[in-house]
Structure 1
């Protein structure tokens, strides 16, 4: 689903949806609402994403084909479409793990700050 892949890319970048919206030059909520509701975005928004982040594989973002990044790696050159889907799922799982770890670190940091006050 487009909204899940877009969120995965935003998580990969280590930014928030609001920060991502600002970076690509769209209004606040222009991506948050489609992500929350499982919807897609218009061509203009896709163009802004690609202009700011040319490393993203638009085929992956729009259709779920291939890998997240178009970096020319061996992973991108897998011939069996079934394997590609598995790689994309594994990538997504890794991204979610990283996002959770980042959130855990932030929680620990906030708990330390609260303990100091």
Structure 2
């Protein structure tokens, strides 16, 4: 069972770490300002949806720490370094889409895209997820199922 008082203290710690007030924090995670206020005051318990929004918006927050206070916040730097990002050249990126039917890779179906990417993986690694960010702030999420 979650302790509302302790959860609200951890949530406040996250907000302080990022320099957010309740309004800006609510806007970043996509909830109403009153939701933050009610959770911080202990009036309401956080919903699963609320917790998931915090985790997806702020990558340094660990689920177990947020819910139970066990673990660490922010995530340690060594954990962030365990999965280095290897950039690919423009030509390599184009090769990934060379067998697709559609010339615009964004319009390719999720499963076709991931299947093609997995087939082209030369280092033996399998791609689990691709996120494409657009200039208007929206994004597309492609997950391997």
State the TM bucket, normalised to the shorter chain: 0.5 to 0.7
Which 4+ stretches in 1 moved above 3 angstroms? none
Query: TM-score when scaled to structure 2?
Result: 0.47
List per-residue Cα deviations over 1:41-87 (Å, max 9, x = no partner).
0000111111111221111110000111223449xxxxxxxxxxxxx
Paired position in structure 1 for 2:28: 23
The alpha carbon displacement at 1:37 in A equals 2.1
Normalized per residue, the structure richer in helix is: 1
Deviation at 1:39, TM superposition (A): 4.6
Structure 2 counterpart of 1:87: none
TM-score using structure 1 length: 0.57
Q: Which has the higher strand share?
A: 2
> How far, CA to CA, are the matches of 1:54 and 1:9 in structure 2?
11
Q: Which has the higher contact order (CA 8 A, sep 6+)?
A: 1
Within 5 A, what are the aligned runs for 1:31-110?
31-37=36-42, 39-73=44-78
User: Alignment length, in residue pairs?
Assistant: 74
Q: Cα RMSD between the aligned structures?
A: 1.8
Gapped runs of 5+ residues in structure 2? Answer: 1-5, 80-145
**What's the offset of the Cα at 1:40?**
2.8
**Structure 1: runs of 5 or more not aligned:** 75-117
Give runs of aligned pairs for residues 8-19 of structure 1, distance below 5 A: 8-19=13-24
Whole-angstrom CA distance in 2 between matches of 1:65 and 1:34: 20
